[in-house]
Amino acid sequence: MTSAAGGLFSHVEQGPPDPILGIAEAYKKSTNPKKLNLGVGAYRTEEGKPLVLEAVRRAEQAVVSNPDHEYLPITGIPEFNALSARLAFGEDSSVIRENCNATVQALSGTGSLRVGAEFLARHYPVRTVLLPSPTWPSHNKIFPLAGVADVRAYRYFKPSSRGLDYEGMLEDLRKAPEGSILLLHACAHNPTGVDPSLDQWRGILEVAKEKKFLPFFDSAYQGFASGDLERDATAIRMFADEGMEMLLAQSYAKNMGLYGERVGALTVVARDAAIAERVESQLKLVIRPMFSNPPRFGAAIVVKVLQDPELYALWRKELKGMADRINGMRTLLFQELQRAGAPGKWSHIVEQIGMFSFTGLSKPQVEYLTAKWHVYMTLDGRISMAGLNQASCRYLAEGIADAIRACP
C-alpha cells in the first residue's frame, strides 16, 4: 500500500485537468498576446473585463457599511431564501402562497445541486437520474458522489440539425424507469444553447407526469437567456403550475455576476407546507456536516438587490444589457464567419440561446485553434459568447475558417 521511498502518498496519480476550469488555467499560462479565453462561462465586457454590476456594487456598499460576521443559520438568510423562491416561481405561484417549498441557501449552483442530490439519496427511493446528452460535465459527478448512483443519459442534442432531438428525447424518457429523477436545464442549456420551445416543454411535462418523474431543474442562467427573468423561468413555472413536486437549484453566479461569492439556493417543492417543513429539517441534516452554514456576504448583496425596488429595476436593466451584448456577438460572429468563408452553415450561432454557442467544431479542430490561434475553448466545441468583442469576432472567425480547412 505504501512505498517506503516515496512516503504515504507516492501512489497518488496526477488527476486530469477539469474540462472547463482547466481551460482557464491553460489560458493563464499562455504568453501569446493574441490569446482569447472562450472557455469558462463568465461574462466579460466589450473591453474583455469582468463586470461588477452597478446594482450589485451599490448593494455591496450597503452591506459593507453595516458589517456582520456572525454565523448564519444552517439554512442561510431567511429573506434570501424567500426572495429566491419568489424569483423562480413568481409572486403569485401556488407554491409560494401555500408554502409548499423548502428553500435553503447553498454554495452557488453546484452546492445546491449537491445538497439536493444528497437529500434525494437519503429520502427518495429511486436512485436513477436522467441527464441530457450532452450536459454540463459536473452533473455526471455530483449525483453519484452524493449517492444517486444510476446515471443515465437521454438524447437532447441532434448534431445533424444542431437543434433539439425532441423525438429522441421523449423516446428515451419513455423508456426510463418510472420515478426517475429528471434533470432539466431551466433555460440556456449548457453546452448546447438549445432550449425546448413552449410546446416541447408541454410535451416533456406530459411525459414527466406519465412516468412519475421527479424533475430537478438546474437554473444557472435566469435572465441571461432572454434578458427577461420571467421568460427564463417559464419551464419551472409551467411544471409548478401543474402541481409537480420538484427540486430546483438556483445560482446567482451569472445573473448577478457573483461567481466567486458562491451564492445559490436549493428548493424542494413538496405537496403541502407540513411536508415542506419536515423536508427543510432534513436538508439541515445534510448541510450541517457538509459546510455547517453558508457564507453571508454574497447572499446579503442578493437580498438588497431583490428587496430594494430601485436596485431591482437597475439589476433587470443591467441583466438585459448583458443578454443583449451576448446576442449582438452572435450576430457579429455569424457575419464574420460568412465573411471569412468558413465552410459550413452557421445559422445555429444566431439561433442558440444563452451564454454559449455549440459551434460544431470537432476536437482536432478545437486543438488546432488553440495551438495555432491561441483560442481557448472546451474540447466539445463550446465557446462562451461573452468572451468575444467586435475585434475578436473577426479573429475567431478567421481562425475557425482556417481550422476547418486544416482539419476537415
Q: Which residues are catalytic?
A: 136, 218, 254
Q: Is residue 104 a contact partner of residue 269, using CB atoms and an 8 Å limit?
A: no
Helix segments in 137-272, DSSP class H: 139-146, 166-175, 198-210, 234-241
Where helices occur in 101-254 by DSSP H, the ranges are 108-123, 139-146, 166-175, 198-210, 234-241
Q: Which is nearer to ligand PGU, 100 or 383 (CB)?
A: 383
Minimum distance, C-beta of residue 110 to ligand PGU, in the bound complex (Å)? 3
Q: Tell me the C-alpha distance between 281 and 119, whole Å.
A: 11
With CB under 6 A as the contact rule, the residue among 75, 110, 180, 389 that binds ligand PGU is 110
Q: How far is the CB of 254 from ligand PGU (least distance, A)?
A: 7
44 binds ligand PGU (CB under 6 A): no
Element holding 44 (H helix, E strand): none
Q: Which triple of cell numbers denotes residue 291?
A: 459546510
253 belongs to the binding site for ligand PGU (CB under 6 A): yes
222 sits near ligand PGU (criterion: CB under 6 A): no
340, containing H or E segment: none
What is d(CA 360, CA 343) in angstroms, rounded to the nearest whole number? 12
Q: How far is the CB of 392 from ligand PGU (least distance, A)?
A: 18
Instruction: Assess 172 for contact with ligand PGU (CB under 6 A).
Output: no
Note whether 392 binds ligand PGU by CB under 6 A. Answer: no
Of 220, 240, 319, 377, the one binding ligand PGU (CB under 6 A) is 220
Nearer to ligand PGU, 101 or 222 (CB): 222
- The answer to the question of residue 232 lying near ligand PGU (CB under 6 A) is no
**DSSP-assigned letter for residue 260:** G
89 vs 136, beta carbon nearer ligand PGU = 136
**Per CB under 6 A, 257 contacts ligand PGU:** no
Q: Does 41 bind ligand PGU (CB under 6 A)?
A: yes
Cβ neighbours for 3, distance < 8 A, ≥ 6 positions apart: 10, 11
Residue 138 C-beta: closest distance to ligand PGU, Å: 6
H helices present in 250-362, as ranges: 273-287, 297-307, 309-339, 347-351
Smallest separation (angstroms) from ligand PGU to the CB of 173: 19
What DSSP state is assigned to residue 251? E
Residue written as cell 454554495? 107
Q: What residues contact residue 317 under an 8 Å CB cut-off, 6+ apart? A: none
State how far the Cα of 3 lies from the Cα of 9, in Å rounded to an integer: 8
Residue 143 in contact with ligand PGU, rule: CB under 6 A: no
Count the site residues for ligand PGU by CB under 6 A: 15
Per-residue binding string, ligand PGU, 69-108, x by CB under 6 A, is: ---------------------------------------x
Distance CA 112, CA 371 (A): 36
Q: Does residue 251 belong to the site contacting ligand PGU (CB under 6 A)? A: yes
Residues near ligand PGU, by CB under 6 A: 20, 40-41, 108-110, 136, 185, 190, 218, 220, 251, 253, 259, 264
